[in-house]
Amino acid sequence: MEYDGTGYKGSQYQGNAPTVQGALERSLRSLTGEPIRVALAGRTDAGVHALGQVASFSTTSRHSPEVMVRGVNARLPRDVVVRAAAVVAAAFDPRRWAQSRWYRYSVCNRPVRPALDRYRAWHVAGRLDLEAMQKACAALLGRHDFAAFAPPSQATRGSTERVIYTAQWRRLNAHVLQFDIEGNAFLQNMVRRIVAALVDIGRGKLAAGNLAEMLRRAVPGTASAMAPAHGLYLIRVRYESGLFDDEANEDV
C-alpha cells in the first residue's frame, strides 16, 4: 500500500477518527460484501506516509489478486492506493513474518519554509553539518538497546533491543536531505527520536558522541525530542519469501 498520511490519524483503526486501516476495510467490504478486518505490517502515526505498507486479510472472495487491486483502488480515497496483491498462506502475519522495515525521513534545509512539501518534509532553517550527522550514524548500526529512543511506557513492556542494518544520510538536492534506516523492527517513535537527535548533532547542539552514549546508557526516554511525523515514510517491508520484492519503488 501507498498512502499520504496527512488526512489520517495514523494507520491503525480508530472508531472515531479517519485511519488508513479504516479506509482499506471499507473498500474491501464494499468489494467483497464481507466484514473484513486487516492486519498491518507496521503502525504509522498520524501524518506519516508510506510507499510500501503491507496489509493482510482473509476472504472467501474468488477475485484474483489483479481484480482485487483494481476493485479496491476504485473504492479507496485518492490519498490511499494498493500497489500490488498476492495470495499468501493462511497463517501469514505481515508484522511477525517481516524480516526488516525500511524507513526514510525527509528534511527541507533552507531558510524559507516549503509550500509544496509542507506536509512531506521537516523544515529546518539553519545550517546542518551533514558530515557530522552521517558520522554519528555509525553508532546506530548493529544490535543495541534503544530504550533511550522510546517512551518510558514502552520500555517497560518488553525488550527494547533492536538490530539496525543501515542508517545513512544523503543530499537529494541543494535543499533536501534524506535519512534512510532499516532494521529488524522499531520501537514507538524510535525513528523520529533518532532523526531529532541527528539533526541536533547537525546543528551543533549535540556532540556526535552523545548519541552513542545514549545507546550505551539506555535510559528510557532520554532522547525526548521528536522530529515531526510528516517527514517520515515507511518505504518497504521485507520478507524472507521475497513477497513484493518485484514491486520496485521506482521513485525511491
- Active-site residue list: 45
Range list of H helices, the chain? 20-32, 65-75, 130-137, 152-155, 190-203, 208-217
* Identity of the amino acid at 25: E
Contact of 13 with 40, CB cutoff 8 Å: no
Q: What are phi and psi of 158, to 5 degrees?
A: 170, -170
Reference 194, options 120, 241, 141, 248; nearest CA is 141
Contact of 197 with 211, CB cutoff 8 Å: yes
| Residues 105, 46: Cα–Cα separation, whole Å | 15
Angle between helices 208-217 and 190-203 (to 10 degrees): 150
